[in-house]
């Protein structure tokens, strides 16, 4: 089980850090993926914009290979039971646990409003996960703490009301911990340093050309380890190719312009099939809504027994006979 917040258009950091695993994990697993529009409400306050982003992320999922026959794909707000569970979990969640959240502190440091929604973000995330009794939650490194919080909340619930909730494991891809952005910081929609796999080719070229490099002349040796151009290029190269590129950097004679051209060519080739598929999907808006409706139906069906057990354990709702 995993989700992505539709607060913007997805970038290659989201793909390599998260969505790629979603696709790989479909096989041999009973997977569910969702568009976290309720979480996005913390940041996006324009209804038209939020719908467009949510639709966009769902299309990205499908274009990149989430198979709705194989996995459940749904919109978070179409599973309202998760919000009910959030409240029940909130009643056993210590404030201190949330006050220690890196994501909350980081958001405040960047000037976010300290709304209850922002503070309670991990509780809804816990509900998203626990409502499916998920075993594995594939997320990027920055989301690991949220999985730990989810486990802590589940333990509190189980201690208070009895063993109902299953503790999930995070699943972090170690070898692409963090994808750097064009400015060398973590690629993030918040920093405007993204490379967007579904941008029109011209825009994509612009983004790639914005990758910041040092001023080492073409003929001089360069350090691949401190170069974000190298790091980004490596996402599209196998180990053998990476070794060769390391040598070309160290030898000198390789210009950063050439590396950027290669990044563009490789990104277009790598995402070519997904780009074509997305264009096709965009022409059929009804198909997307059908997929999401069916996904929500399956998610609600799957959540129903757990919710019944939770209500029973907590003593709310219609009692079991």
Contacts to ligand TRP by CB under 6 A: 1-5, 36, 39, 125, 128-129, 137, 139, 143, 146
In the complex with ligand ADP, which residue's Cβ is closer, 43 or 84?
A: 43
> What is the pattern of x (binds ligand ADP, CB under 6 A) and - over residues 7-46?
------xx--xx----------------------------
Minimum CB separation from ligand TRP for residue 139, in Å? 5
Using the Cα atoms of residue 187, residue 177, residue 57 and residue 67 in order, give the sign of their dihedral: positive
> How many degrees, rounded to 5, is the angle at CA 257 between CA 230 and CA 196?
65
Minimum CB separation from ligand TRP for residue 20, in Å? 14
Please, are residues 204 and 23 in contact by the beta-carbon 8 Å criterion? no
| Spatial distance between the Cα atoms of 104 and 120, rounded to a whole number of angstroms | 9
* Of 64-72, 121-129, 156-164, 184-192: span binding ligand ADP (CB under 6 A): 184-192
Q: Is 137 in a helix, a strand, or coil?
A: strand
Question: Which of the residues 227 through 286 are near ligand ADP (CB under 6 A)?
Answer: none
In the complex with ligand ADP, which residue's Cβ is closer, 51 or 300?
A: 51
| Spatial distance between the Cα atoms of 102 and 176, rounded to a whole number of angstroms | 21
**Alpha-helical regions (H) of the chain:** 12-14, 20-26, 37-40, 47-64, 81-90, 95-99, 102-109, 116-119, 121-130, 144-161, 201-209, 228-234, 239-251, 256-282, 285-314
**What would the two tokens of residue 53 be?**
């982003």
Instruction: Name the closest residue to ligand TRP (Cβ).
Output: 3
With CB under 5 to 8 Å by kind, the binding choice for 137 among ligand ADP, ligand TRP, none is: ligand TRP
In the complex with ligand ADP, which residue's Cβ is closer, 43 or 93?
A: 43
Minimum CB separation from ligand TRP for residue 292, in Å? 16
> What is the pattern of x (binds ligand ADP, CB under 6 A) and - over residues 124-163?
---------------xx-xx--------------------
Residues in the chain, how many?
321
Considering the rule CB under 6 A, would residue 193 count as an interface residue with ligand ADP? no
Minimum CB separation from ligand ADP for residue 309, in Å? 29
In the complex with ligand TRP, which residue's Cβ is closer, 78 or 282?
A: 78
- Cα atoms in the Cβ-side hemisphere of radius 13 Å centred on 248: 13
Please, are residues 90 and 52 in contact by the beta-carbon 8 Å criterion? no
| Spatial distance between the Cα atoms of 19 and 33, rounded to a whole number of angstroms | 10
Minimum CB separation from ligand ADP for residue 61, in Å? 12
With CB under 5 to 8 Å by kind, the binding choice for 187 among ligand TRP, ligand ADP, none is: ligand ADP
Which residues make beta-bridge pairs with 34? 3, 74
Q: How many CB atoms lie within 10 A of CB 119?
A: 17
Contact positions toward ligand ADP, by CB under 6 A?
4-5, 13-14, 17-18, 139-140, 142-143, 178-179, 186-190
């Amino acid at each position: 089980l995993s989700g992505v917040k539709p607060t913007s258009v997805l970038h290659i950091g989201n793909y390599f850090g998260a969505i790629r695993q979603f696709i790989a994990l479909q096989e041999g697993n009973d997977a569910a993926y969702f568009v976290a529009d309720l979480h996005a409400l913390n940041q996006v306050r324009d209804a038209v914009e939020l719908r467009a982003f949510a639709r966009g992320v769902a299309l990205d999922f499908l274009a990149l290979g989430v198979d709705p026959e194989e996995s459940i794909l749904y919109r978070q707000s179409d599973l309202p039971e998760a919000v009910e569970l959030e409240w029940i979990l909130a009643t056993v969640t210590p404030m201190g646990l949330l006050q220690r959240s890196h994501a909350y502190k980081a958001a405040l440091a960047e000037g976010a409003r300290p709304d209850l929604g922002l503070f309670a973000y991990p509780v809804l995330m816990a509900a998203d996960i626990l409502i499916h009794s998920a075993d594995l939650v594939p997320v990027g490194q920055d989301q690991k703490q949220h999985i730990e919080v989810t486990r802590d909340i589940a333990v509190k619930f189980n201690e208070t009301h009895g063993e109902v909730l299953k503790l999930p494991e995070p699943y972090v891809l170690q070898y692409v911990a963090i994808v750097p952005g064009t400015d060398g910081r973590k690629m993030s929609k918040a920093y405007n340093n993204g490379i967007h796999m579904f941008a029109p080719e011209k825009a994509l070229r612009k983004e790639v050309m914005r990758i910041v490099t040092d001023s080492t002349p073409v003929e001089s040796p360069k350090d691949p380890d401190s170069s974000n151009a190298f790091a980004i290029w490596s996402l599209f190269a196998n180990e053998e190719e990476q070794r060769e590129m390391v040598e070309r950097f160290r030898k000198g004679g390789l210009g950063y312009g050439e590396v950027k051209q290669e990044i563009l060519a490789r990104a277009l080739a790598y995402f070519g099939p997904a780009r074509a598929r997305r264009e096709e999907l965009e022409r059929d808006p009804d198909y997307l809504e059908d997929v999401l409706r069916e996904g929500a139906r399956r998610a609600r069906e799957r959540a129903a027994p757990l919710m019944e057990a939770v209500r029973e354990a907590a003593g709310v709702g219609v009692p079991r006979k």
